[in-house]
Chains A and B, each alone.
Chain A
Amino acid sequence: MSKELNDSIPTDSEVILGILNNSESVLKRLYVAYFPMVLQMIINNNGTADDAKDIYQEAIIILYNKIKAGDFELSSKLKTFIYSVCRRLWLKRLSQMSRFGGDIRDFQEYLHVEEDVDKHTEMDIQFNKMESALQLLGEPCKTIMEDFYIHNLSMQDICERFGYTNADNAKTQKYKCLQRLKKLFFQQK
């Protein structure tokens, strides 16, 4: 399966269009195409296959968001961009673990992508905050929040799911939950 996909590395413009159109198959081909390159870089620089997975997925997310945001200009090959992002992320990770020996074995040419990586890291901090805020929120608030704000369910649906007698009660409940979630989110440093 992976062999077959490997043989069909998508062109860069294919990838951009595919991601903009939410194409699952393009995403898969993209992922499969460049993973070995990143795996090679990481396992030969003090990393494990799991490290490679984490780093590679982060890089794909950065690329994905950049394309989705519409500000992606194809100034280099996608391959080089992904490699550069992974390299940057891995250097950061290594220095955090104080495993970085000051020397990295490179397999590709690379670009300076500090800006993209830093932007991504900032977002990550926000998401981590959100994740722990949702964890702390507990049920049923968590599900109400997710249903309403993420899955875009109507208040009517939520009333039925949670067995509220009228929409007003549900609204009051939702309001309280939202206030708590905001409090938890903004309190975190």
Chain B
Amino acid sequence: MNEVKLQDDIERYLSGEMTAVEHKAFDLLRKEDPAVNAKLAEHQEFTKILKQYSNRLALETRLDAIHSEIDVHTLADELIIHPSFIVRLWRNHHSKISVAASIAIFAILSTLFVTGYFNNQDSKYIQLSREVGNLKHKTDNLNLKLAQTANSRSGKIVATDRFRGTGFAITSNGLIVTNYHVVSEYDSVYVQNAAGKSFKAKVLYTEPQNDIAILKITDTAFKNLGPIPYTFKKSASDLAESVYTYGYSQDQGVFGDGKLTASNGLNGDSLDYQISIPVNFGNSGGPLLDSKGNIIGIVQAKQSQLEGVHFAVKTSYLLSAIDSLNQKVVLNTKNTLANLTPVQQLKKVKNYVFMVKVYDK
């Protein structure tokens, strides 16, 4: 009760409701009792905050009322600085744009990957076909036109020589093997022997996936070749074996020798051997022989970026191609080259190696 009385006194003292006598007495009390004085100060401070707080609330209410009369939305639209179209597009849609871009990049990369674009990038085959250059082609066209003009009355069509490769005999009765890419897309094929004599031939059988083609000489002028001097080696040959080839990379037959350098071709392709023979355009389809006179492959293609790396289709693929022929083929099993020097071997072999010429109409 005493506390309540004191509180009441403090309030009356502060509000000035006390009589002069009471006021004096209370002043005396404040001096005597510091606790009363502290209490008074605290109360004064507290009520001040309370008062200010209420003033603040009242002011906020007034301001809110004023604010509610302002059309903030329209004002905001007028005042906001609109960045340029591109910036806005990016700000509003940057996540979508990013996702779309990522998907696009991923799609492109995966498409390239699936289509094998990356695999082919590093090293490309140059087919060893002896493609006559653009210049020659143009000259041929000119010649053709001239000839057509000259022969316009008889209407004779002059065929042009397009590709040249090499082929070699597998039987004495005129079966010749070459690369598929040498004869593909050409319907007229001639083979020319070492003596320079040409015979008409037809394409008997092809295996595009193994790049093998078997030709048959159909020309009536063709005589039996006589016994084939070389044999076909079925088993795989060893690395570092001395090998050689003979082929028409130029107008004349050219000999080339080297080593067997790898048992698989480009990117581990088991179709091929790798060889270190310096072969050129026109060597395609030529025989690859080891030092004993066994055919171990068909010279096939040249690797474009690595120096001195060339390929030859393994004999085992040739043999399976021969097996696939409709007719029965008796392969030579008696090797007459085994004990000869390379010089003597080549003298014999070259009679069984032909230049393959193709013509388009």
Contacts and interface: CB of A to CB of B under 8 A. Distances in A.
B63 A60 contact: yes
A175 B53 contact: no
Given A53-B72, A126-B49, A149-B47, A172 B63 contact: no
Contacts of B50: 130, 145, 149-150
Given A57-B63, A182-B46, A2 B7 contact: no
A110 interface: no
Contacts of A185: 46, 49
A36 B60 contact: no
Given A39-B72, A39-B76, A49-B73, A57 B52 contact: no
A182 B3 CA distance: 15
Nearest to B49: A126
B334 interface: no
A127 B69 CA distance: 27
B62 interface: yes
A36 B79 contact: yes
A39 B53 contact: no
Given A2-B70, A31-B66, A61-B60, A44 B53 contact: no
Interface string B55-83: 01001101110110111110110011100
Contacts of A117: none
B160 interface: no
Contacts of B141: none
Interface residues of A, number: 36
A182 B47 CA distance: 10
Interface in A30-75: 31-32, 35-36, 39-40, 43-44, 49, 52-53, 57, 60-61, 64
B119 interface: no
A44 B42 CA distance: 46
Residue among B49, B51, B60, B70 with the highest chain A CB neighbour number at 10 A: B70
A149 B51 contact: yes
B343 interface: no
A146 interface: yes
Contacts of B80: 40, 43-44
Nearest to B67: A53
Contact of A43 (B52, B66, B76): B76
Nearest to A148: B11
Contact of B71 (A2, A131, A175): A2
Contact of B7 (A1, A57, A145, A178): A178
Interface of A is mostly: helix
Nearest to B4: A175
A171 interface: yes
B7 A27 contact: no
Given A31-B67, A126-B49, A146 B72 contact: no
B237 to A, nearest CB: 72
A146 B54 contact: yes
Contacts of B323: none
Contacts of A171: 4, 8
B193 to A, nearest CB: 86
Given A127-B56, A146-B54, A150-B51, 19 more contacts: A2-B70, A24-B62, A35-B75, A39-B76, A39-B79, A40-B80, A57-B60, A57-B67, A61-B60, A126-B52, A127-B52, A145-B50, A149-B47, A150-B54, A172-B4, A175-B3, A178-B7, A182-B42, A185-B46
11 contacts: A35-B67, A43-B80, A49-B72, A49-B76, A53-B67, A57-B60, A61-B59, A127-B49, A149-B51, A171-B4, A185-B49
Interface of B: 3-4, 7-8, 42, 46-47, 49-54, 56, 59-60, 62-64, 66-67, 69-73, 75-76, 79-81
Q: Which 6 A-B pairs have the closest CB atoms?
A: A40-B79, A150-B54, A175-B4, A130-B53, A31-B66, A49-B72
